[in-house]
Chain A
Amino acid sequence: MSFMTTLSDPPSGSFRLSMLINDTRYRSYTFQFIALVIVIAIFGYLGSNLFANLRAAGLNISFDFLGESSNYDINQTLIEYSSRSTHWTAAVVGILNTLLVAFLACITATIIGVIAGILRLSPNWLVRKLMSIYVEAFRNVPVLIWIIIIFTIMTVVLPAPNAFRGDNATASMLFGAFAFTNRGVYLPAPVWGPGSLIVALVFVASVIGVFMYRRYAKKLLFDTGRLLPMGWPSLVILFVPTLLVFFLLGRPIGLDYPELKGFNFQGGIQILGSLIALWWALAIYTGAFIAENVRAGIQSVSKGQAEAAASLGMRPNRIMNLVVLPQALRVIIPPLISNYLNITKNSSLAIVVGYMDIAGTLGGITLNQTGRAIECVLLLMAFYLAISLTISGLMNVYNKAISLKER
């Protein structure tokens, strides 16, 4: 053994400077080091230039403006906000609005994408072609155009609140509870009376109950092979106790219907037209990409899997849900992460329809009114970076959980 070690020992010579270029062992380090120095120098130059120029103009980098009163109003605020609040609060309102639209769009895009992706492989010729038209039409037109199209259609087609007024109104509310106007959609809002907490708790308990029932049924199926019905018992567990408690307590939860008062509908919940336009544009646009991922994922599962399941007598529905999709997820999840990131970043196009996201408050009005462009843009970058890294971190955890366990 010992003579082999001697043989594989590197020739021990003294280190010479020329080896940095001539010796393959060191050459790559040399060039990497040079590249690093150049990159640092470029950023150093840009940074020092910025600071020197700012100093020459008598300006400075300061975030003090965040504590000053913002003096502007925002039309959709998920937290308490008025024009007396600070620029920082305005930024938080914007962050929440960004997260809201990104969350809604991610969920909707996933649902649309999964359905469209599966239907693209449908044996039905018409369905298959319709889905490929959807995918090709939507992913090949920029999302900005889709946002504008949906928003414009909403403003032009839907009636103004004024059309609901008077005896010969040209528009009327759906079921007397929903109003679709070009300013947005108005829905009834729940009013929480005394005792409503009990109803809510019973409902939460019912949801847990449904899960427990399904778990029990699954265990029974695996243990004994006996198949319990799933559909109607779940519905019964979900709704019957809640409804019983609701009526026993004398209907503690009421509804606040939107009503036309003055210029606008008052009461109820208003979903802004700009939110709807942005949400659905992002959802259908990204849904087209997700559909392609889903299709690729399904096709990556070997055909033998589906055939084997079919030969066991499984119905097509179950083959898809129990055999194909779980395996396809391994292929679908990684590109899905980048689609979620795209939705979040594309939501910064909100300003074209006047939806006040973080780019509209901090990067728009605040930047304009304070003139602190560099500070605002730095904060924006930090926010988008943080949110993107969080999403991708969470999705990677999920990806690990479903990936093939190799033992």
Chain B
Amino acid sequence: MTKTVILGTLTVAALAAGAAGAATLDDVKARGKLNCGVTTGLVGFAAPDANGKWDGFDVGICRAVAAAVLGDPTAVEFVPTTGKTRFTALSSGEIDVLARNTTWTFSRDTDLKFDFVGVNYYDGQGFMVPKALGVSSAKELDGATVCIQTGTTTELNLADYFRKNNMSYQPVPIETNAEAQQQYLNGACDVYTTDASGLAATRAAFEAPGDHVVLPEIISKEPLGPLVRHGDNDWGDIVRWTFYALVAAEEYGITSANIEELAAGTDNPEVNRILGTEDNLGAMLGLEPTWAKAAIAAGGNYGELFEKNIGENTPIGLSRGLNAQWTDGGLMYSPPFR
């Protein structure tokens, strides 16, 4: 009897283990919902609005993937993750894709066994100081007290930067952006450091944004992008090409406004291939021919998502910079759809 129990246990364990490694696409289709890991709330990137509906730049990626796979951009279960829980959530299979301002680094890609499918926001770490301090360069920050969000790559960059420039500093580790803001405004730290996009978003929320300056130095490369588990390459391809479809859509002028019109057929073969009227790229991914059309229609192309959530006309007010299309001098460059 005892033996049976243990044998049974082992069998169940083996089955459970098998399931975790199986095709994510089939799981998502069977579930009818995409489990997407996002932040616990960072306005502009991923935050629930007043009605509890998730909205933001990273959320747009989740919705596009859900639209491509399931044909329904609302078929997403948003799983809020913290800096600490995000990787465990992804590797345990609790979420299918993680779209959470996550920096693409070597060890995360290799040692943690994830695949970054692309970069949806090129960021870099910066410093913000009160104007009254009279500091104009990060090189003058020797001896400063620095507020820093813990559990992010910013901690490592900061240590590297100060060591490289032979300067000392006192880190004040802080859990959330809101708390960091309070500490910084009360003068408990001289400097606040995080990704430049985050600094812009934080400063926008201040009563007197003009009293604070973001120093010119960008001390790190922070390519933020969605990631999936390593090993399920079919699923990785789907997320990767859904993202590139959004980028390519901007390049070829496919917007949520004109997509129906263009889907009737155009004289640009690449547009036709993306929208599924020529060839059948969808079948190669195991999806419907209109997968990319659904993804773009979900929230618009890459440029539309950017402008709507974090662009210059939003409170976040970020300019495209490195995130402009390659044709405009940026780094957004989709491989060809053929």
Contact = CB atoms under 8 A, between A and B. Distances in A.
Contacts, number: 140
Interface residues of A, number: 51
Interface stretch (A20-28, A66-74, A308-316, A394-402): A66-74
Interface in A23-75: 37-38, 41, 44-45, 48-49, 52-53, 55-59, 71-75
Contacts of B229: 57
A160 B92 CA distance: 45
B182 A261 contact: no
Interface string A9-28: 00000000000000000000
Interface stretch (A130-138, A209-217, A248-256, A365-373): A365-373
Contacts of A347: none
A37 B9 CA distance: 12
A351 interface: yes
Given A57-B21, A364-B150, A356 B9 contact: no
B257 interface: no
Interface string B139-167: 00111110000111001101110110000
A390 interface: no
A183 B6 CA distance: 57
A365 B145 contact: no
Interface string B2-26: 1001100110111011101100000
Contact of A75 (B171, B183, B231): B171
B146 to A, nearest CB: 9
Interface stretch (B65-73, B81-89, B205-213): B81-89
Interface string B199-243: 000000000000000000000000000000111000000000000
Contacts of B142: 262
B243 to A, nearest CB: 23
Q: Tell me the interface secondary structure of chain A in the complex.
A: helix
B16 A53 contact: yes
A162 interface: yes
Contact of B171 (A41, A74, A364, A367): A74
B285 interface: no
A302 interface: no
Contact of B159 (A49, A73, A373): A73
- Max chain A C-beta neighbours (<10 A), residue from B12, B21, B142: B21
Given A45-B13, A73-B169, A371-B87, A56 B112 contact: no
B196 to A, nearest CB: 20
B150 A160 contact: no
Given A183-B189, A364-B173, A365-B173, 4 more contacts: A45-B12, A56-B18, A56-B20, A57-B21
27 contacts: A45-B12, A48-B9, A49-B13, A52-B13, A56-B20, A57-B21, A58-B113, A72-B156, A73-B155, A73-B162, A75-B170, A155-B183, A155-B186, A155-B188, A162-B187, A262-B142, A263-B141, A263-B145, A264-B144, A266-B143, A351-B175, A354-B150, A354-B175, A364-B150, A367-B84, A368-B151, A371-B107
